[in-house]
Amino acid sequence: MNWLLEIFNMKSWFKKQQQKWQELEDSYKESLLQFIWILFGNIFPLLLGWLIFALPDIIWRGGDTFIKDGQFYIYSVSLISSATYVFWTFKVQNLDKFALLGYASVIVGGLASLFYALFLVGSVTNYQFIKYSSLIIFVLTLLLFYKSIIMNGTKLDVHEAQKRNIQSIASTLK
């Protein structure tokens, strides 16, 4: 009888999610779909690997198979590169929030690239370090990438913002 209650709870949860989806603005819906689609395309090799392991004749070797070879470093770098571009196109000043997000993206991408390069040449062989650092960097990348997708969906006139800043500076100098 508990399984019926669980099914009912799942149905009500899906209905709530559907209602929340309908209440979202179209720009957020588009941004969320873009995020999911790009993420799906980026981690498609991982998803395909899981699918192959699901075949009956293939022996599952554990989830660590996908982590120990540094895949998540590569996923992180490929996602963060487009996020960095978006942050730099929205940057008005060197220390505004968009510039800081851009700097954070460069740091995360640089760390992921460095750790993967060290892994490839054999300087990093500690599996626990590879596992946790690659997953942490991947989560940070997802957060930054999602923020860039949301920003890209909004319409900010960077040139107009720069013009206002120049006018503001000029008026304080007078």
Cβ count near 130 (within 10 Å): 22
Q: Tens digits of per-residue pLDDT, 17-74?
A: 777 767 767 767 777 888 888 888 888 888 888 888 888 887 877 777 778 788 888 8
Tokens of 99: 């510039």
What pTM, to 2 d.p., does this model score? Answer: 0.67
Q: What pLDDT score was predicted for residue 127? A: 83
Nearest to 129 by CA among 81, 72, 75, 60: 72
For residue 1, pLDDT over 70 is answered with no
pLDDT in tens, 74-132: 888 888 888 888 888 877 677 778 888 888 888 998 998 998 899 889 888 888 888 88
pLDDT at 92: 65
Tokens (6 digits) for 129: 């370090």
CA gap 12, 34 in Å, rounded: 26
pLDDT of 156 reads 56
Q: How far apart are CA 111 and CA 76, in angstroms?
A: 10
Kindly tell me if the per-residue pLDDT of 170 is higher than 80: no
DSSP summary character for residue 60 = P
Distances (CA, A) of 108 to 38, 46, 67: 19, 21, 18
Cβ proximity of 73 and 108 under 8 Å: no
